[in-house]
Amino acid sequence: MLLSLPSFHIFTSIYNLVSALLQVKCIEVIETYIERIRQVNPLINAVVKDRFEAALQEAHQVDKLLSEGHDDEEALQEKFPFLGVPITIKEAFAIHGLPNTSGLVNRRNLISMSDATVVSRLKQAGAIPLGVTNCSELCMWFESSNRVYGRTNNAYNLECIVGGSSGGEGCILAAAGSVIGIGSDIGGSIRMPAFFNGIFGHKPTTGVVPNDGQFPNALGIRTNFLCTGPMCRYAEDLEPMLRVMAGPNVTKLKLDEKVSLQNIKFYFMEHDGGSVFVSPVDKEILQAQRKLVKNLETELGVQVQNVAIHKMKYSFQIWSVMMSFKDSDEQVAFTDMLGDHGKPVWPSWELVKWMVGMSSHTLPAIGKILLLNKLVKYSPKTNAKLASMAQSLRTEMVNLLGEDGVLLYPSHPVVAPRHHTPLGMPFNFAYTAIFNILGLPVTQCPLGLSKEGLPLGIQVVAGPHNDHLTLAMARYLEKSFGGWVRPGTC
């Protein structure tokens, strides 16, 4: 109940908000969102450091600019497409005056002196950052909890996880404490929190949106897998955000191309084919998917083709092998990063310390390092086999999707689990992670709530540089399924 919305919901998407500035003052908008964050944050712990004072000053500037009167409103809109729009940012990104610790206790006192490229682009477009949001330690896990900021709670059920690593971001957007947000994704870190929190999240085609200015950043081959992208409540906000975040690289995409959904070739895969590592897909998620397929066939008159791509069953193995390949110049192991360039952390010892409550790290971070360093050691032959499987899977997928195909695939096998329980299903992120290896654009779209009131959703995947198709599908699915649902209304 506490999480139900105040009356400011007229300020919905960027477009509506920017138009609203003609009637209300920017300062009122920013004050309303600050008030909202103050109201919900004690429950959800999503915003971990704010810049409310600076944001209010910037709002004054916007009001001043608007009161000066402009003959050419269109030119102003073009220059500042996000004028006065409140934004929040995953803490792993550098934003001037705020910490970027990634939940690492050793980095606790660091304050960024500069902005990550995407942050500075959104600021230049007129957006007003309100603060930074929680993530998992070193962005390595799908529960957003760490020893610097504590744990973030799901707005639909405080007992449940928000996902990770961009979990605080997904959560504050779902709770309407911000309009748009920035996340990053190397195994599903945008799409999982978007799914668990019932919002939209887009992982762009690899190599379009710059990743610089975040910690930890990807090195070596992993730079191909890490993607920075937009998160938001309204499907129509994805595209303008992607344009601004991509900067000049936007020409690599076809965002100006008009999409006619009737001409899209639709493919559908209900689950990964039964990996032994991963939970089976939840009944309610399956039902939502089937309803979606039916809607498409009846509303659009298209054929949705069921496909069985067998290699998807090895998603986790493929991801872990590709992530563990080291380039010769890449010496920074996760163990060194946990120690933050001080003493490398010895994971087995940290585990012992954790058990007696003396580690400053979280169990998943320690566990994942143990896993990547010690447990997931395939033979060289198996490694080579999985790497070549990654190649052939990409070829198969790219050929299937072509320039006009989309694949519908579960975002995750289960709805937001209870806190801590992801430790019992550590490989479920394979559903999202495989698309980082394949480099394809994917939008996670909400599909309403489960019987328990937790968000459902689906991944929409397209061929490389066909982000415009998944974004068009996001807008369609929002209309057809209702998109984001206010927490506290169920």
Ligand X SMILES: *[C@@H]1O[C@H](CO)[C@@H](O)[C@H](O)[C@H]1NC(C)=O
Size of the site for ligand X (CB under 6 A): 20
Q: DSSP letter for 7, please.
A: G
Instruction: Give exposure, 40-77, as e/b (b: 16+ Cβ within 10 Å).
Output: bbeebbbbbbbbbebbbebbeebbebbeeeeeeeeebb
Q: Which of residues 52-111 bind ligand X (CB under 6 A)?
A: 94, 100, 110-111
Which CB, 210 or 488, lies closer to ligand X? Answer: 210
Place of tokens 């085609």: 205
Residue 257 has a CB neighbour count (10 Å cut-off) of: 12
3-state secondary structure of 102: coil
Rounded to 5°, the CA angle 218-223-226 comes to 75
Q: How far is the CB of 112 from ligand X (least distance, A)?
A: 4
Piece in contact with ligand X (CB under 6 A), picked from 57-65, 244-252, 303-311, 313-321: 244-252
Q: Judged by CB under 6 A, which of 16, 61, 120, 217 binds ligand X?
A: 217
Which CB, 25 or 96, lies closer to ligand X? Answer: 96
Which CB, 94 or 135, lies closer to ligand X? Answer: 94
Q: Judged by CB under 6 A, which of 215, 267, 268, 476 binds ligand X?
A: 215
45 lies in the binding site for ligand X (CB under 6 A): yes
Q: Judged by CB under 6 A, which of 13, 88, 106, 112 binds ligand X?
A: 112
Which CB, 52 or 277, lies closer to ligand X? Answer: 52
Helices (H), 111-190: 117-124, 167-174
Residue 80 burial class via C-beta count within 10 angstroms: exposed 0-12, middle 13-18, buried 19 and up:
middle
Among 433, 447, 438, 349, smallest CA distance to 399 is for: 438
Give CA separation, 117 vs 85, 201, 302, in Å. 18, 19, 40
Piece in contact with ligand X (CB under 6 A), picked from 4-12, 41-49, 322-330, 464-472: 41-49
Q: How far is the CB of 120 from ligand X (least distance, A)?
A: 11
Encoding tokens for residue 276? 């032994």
Place of tokens 């930890």: 216
Q: How far is the CB of 50 from ligand X (least distance, A)?
A: 8
Which CB, 240 or 457, lies closer to ligand X? Answer: 240
Q: Judged by CB under 6 A, which of 224, 249, 324, 373 binds ligand X?
A: 249
Q: Judged by CB under 6 A, which of 26, 34, 48, 449 binds ligand X?
A: 48
Those residues with Cβ within 8 angstroms of residue 146's Cβ, 6 or more apart along the chain or in another chain: 102, 103, 104, 134, 135, 136, 137, 362
- As a whole number of angstroms, the distance between CA 150 and CA 464 comes to 38
Catalytic residue (choose from 102, 145, 184, 189):
189
Beta pairing class for 405-410 and 265-268:
parallel
| Ordered DSSP codes for 288-351 | HHHHHHHHIIIII---EEE---GGGGGHHHHHHHHHH---TT----HHHHHTTTSSPP-HHHHH
Among 249, 257, 251, smallest CA distance to 118 is for: 249
Q: Judged by CB under 6 A, which of 207, 273, 453, 488 binds ligand X?
A: 207
Q: How far is the CB of 348 from ligand X (least distance, A)?
A: 27
Catalytic residue (choose from 49, 90, 313, 368):
90
Which CB, 215 or 225, lies closer to ligand X? Answer: 215
Which CB, 221 or 302, lies closer to ligand X? Answer: 221
- As a whole number of angstroms, the distance between CA 147 and CA 132 comes to 16
Q: Judged by CB under 6 A, which of 66, 210, 389, 480 binds ligand X?
A: 210
Encoding tokens for residue 335? 């163990």
Q: By the 8 A CB rule, do 129 and 106 touch?
A: no
Catalytic residue (choose from 102, 144, 165, 315):
165
213 lies in the binding site for ligand X (CB under 6 A): yes
Residue 61 CB-half CA count within 13 A:
11
Residue 23 burial class via C-beta count within 10 angstroms: exposed 0-12, middle 13-18, buried 19 and up:
exposed
Residue 216 CB-half CA count within 13 A:
27
Would you call 189 a catalytic residue per the annotation? yes
Q: How far is the CB of 218 from ligand X (least distance, A)?
A: 10
Q: By the 8 A CB rule, do 428 and 279 touch?
A: yes
482 lies in the binding site for ligand X (CB under 6 A): no
Q: Judged by CB under 6 A, which of 9, 19, 38, 150 binds ligand X?
A: 150
Which CB, 100 or 450, lies closer to ligand X? Answer: 100
C-beta nearest to ligand X: residue? 150
Which CB, 138 or 401, lies closer to ligand X? Answer: 138
Q: Judged by CB under 6 A, which of 61, 105, 247, 273 binds ligand X?
A: 247
Q: How far is the CB of 257 from ligand X (least distance, A)?
A: 20
Encoding tokens for residue 152? 């973030």
Piece in contact with ligand X (CB under 6 A), picked from 202-210, 293-301, 307-315, 450-458: 202-210
Binding mask 152-191 for ligand X (x = CB under 6 A): ----------------------------------------
Q: How far is the CB of 345 from ligand X (least distance, A)?
A: 18
Piece in contact with ligand X (CB under 6 A), picked from 194-202, 210-218, 268-276, 450-458: 210-218
The residues that touch ligand X, with contacts defined as CB under 6 A, are 45, 48-49, 94, 100, 110-112, 149-150, 207-208, 210, 213-215, 217, 247-249
Residues with a known catalytic role: 90, 165, 189
